[in-house]
Amino acid sequence: MRREFWAYAKDEKLDSAALIAEQYRGIRPAPGYPACPDHTEKGPLFELLDAERIGMRLTESYAMTPTAAVSGFYFSHPESQYFAVGKVGRDQVADYARRKGFAVEEAERWLAPNLAYEP
C-alpha cells in the first residue's frame, strides 16, 4: 500500500524482520485492534469504500469476508506511532454511545475488553 498507492515509500527496502519491528514510516491501526477496539467502525469504512463492489462483506459481528481481507486506517506521518486504548469508564462509554447513536448497552458490548467496570 505504501509503495503502490501512496508512493511515499517506493524506495523502501525492508526485510521481514524490519517489517515485524515496524521500522517503516506510518501506521495502520485497524478496527478491532488495540488502537481502535470498536469493530463497528468497519461499517462506515466499508460503506465509504463501497467494499461490496469488490465482493467484500461484513458479518453481523463485523468479521470481514473473504476471511483473508484486511482493513485499517493508514497514517503516513513520519511521527505516527501505534497506541492502545486503555480502560474506559462509564462516563466515557456513555459519551461514546451518544456520539455513535448507540444505546449504552450496545457500546458496552462492542467495547467489553476495554471497560474499566462490569456492566
Checking if the pLDDT of 112 tops 90, the result is: yes
State the virtual CA torsion across 31, 34, 38, 44 in degrees, nearest 10: -20
Domain locations in the chain? 25-81, 86-119
Split at pLDDT 50, 70, 90, the class of 64 is very high
Q: Which three cell numbers stand for residue 60?
A: 453481523
- Return the minimum-mean-pLDDT range out of 6-20, 26-40, 55-69: 6-20
pTM of the predicted structure, to 2 decimals: 0.78
Q: To the nearest whole percent, how much of the chain has pLDDT over 70?
A: 99
Tell me the pLDDT tens digit for each residue of 30-62: 999 999 999 999 999 999 999 999 999 999 999
Checking if the pLDDT of 6 tops 80, the result is: no
